[in-house]
Structure 1
């Protein structure tokens, strides 16, 4: 399951090209939303790959250190999720019940960042926004 694009990308980033790294990266590329290491592990197992969860975490740490992947800790339950770093600024809407995530389009905080910077003299370099609630499916079940 080697991807030529992955091979070139890994070489540029100084990452050793292995089957397990290729498969892990491909899974992340297929996902539209952040995923847990456990979900990646299960998908690798479905593909009959012999890999341990700790190896998945080590692969993800390599990807993070080279700027290919972003790790986020969702504040609600301190769960780590991972996604491809496509240099796109985005926020998420997260269901309390089923943990489903949805990307929020647009960012309402740009102007607020400027105001805060003027008021506090901080050099603001970024922010994250997670909004929690109940998705339509879970709201209907309640």
Structure 2
């Protein structure tokens, strides 16, 4: 039940976020954000669409794309573009920032737990008098399965 309570807490939070962004809490937005919250890594619009279909949610793929674009424009989701891949990956922006290892060969995405840049950010702010408000980190390479091949 721990995952269920996380979703309920996050749902109340994103309902506030939608309202503050001037967006209505529509059925499709709610369903898409719920899937993003449940995912432990960024996922594509197609993956979201398939999960919605599995749960018998009536929605078009074009609606998923339009909804993600709207949520991205309002800062509620973030996009991840993987090197040499035309697909965009999405994640809910209010889950706390995360960093990823991305396999160049199979496109597997692995979450890096913890932030290795916190102290470096503080150092840079002092050095440059630049107020840093965020960052993204994607490290590219080969996963253990692809390395063996």
3-state SS of 2:25 partner: coil
1:105 positional shift = 3.1
TM-align CA RMSD: 2.9
1:68 corresponding residue in structure 2? 76
Name stretches of at least 5 consecutive residues in structure 2 with no aligned partner. Answer: 1-7
Within the candidate set 12, 23, 35, 1:5 is matched to 12
2:55 corresponding residue in structure 1? 47
> How far apart, CA to CA, are the structure 2 residues paired with 1:119 and 1:8?
39
3-state SS of 1:60 partner: helix
Does residue 30 (structure 1) correspond to residue 38 (structure 2)? The answer is yes
Q: Does structure 2 conserve the Cα–Cα contact (< 8 Å) formed by 1:6 and 1:22?
A: no
Could you tell me the TM-score, scaled by structure 2's length? Answer: 0.72
**1:55 and 1:78, CA in 2 relative to 1: closer, same or farther beyond 3 A?**
same
Q: Does structure 2 conserve the Cα–Cα contact (< 8 Å) formed by 1:7 and 1:17?
A: no
Could you tell me the TM-score, scaled by structure 1's length? Answer: 0.75
1:98 corresponding residue in structure 2? 106
Range with bigger deviation, 23-32 or 50-59: 50-59
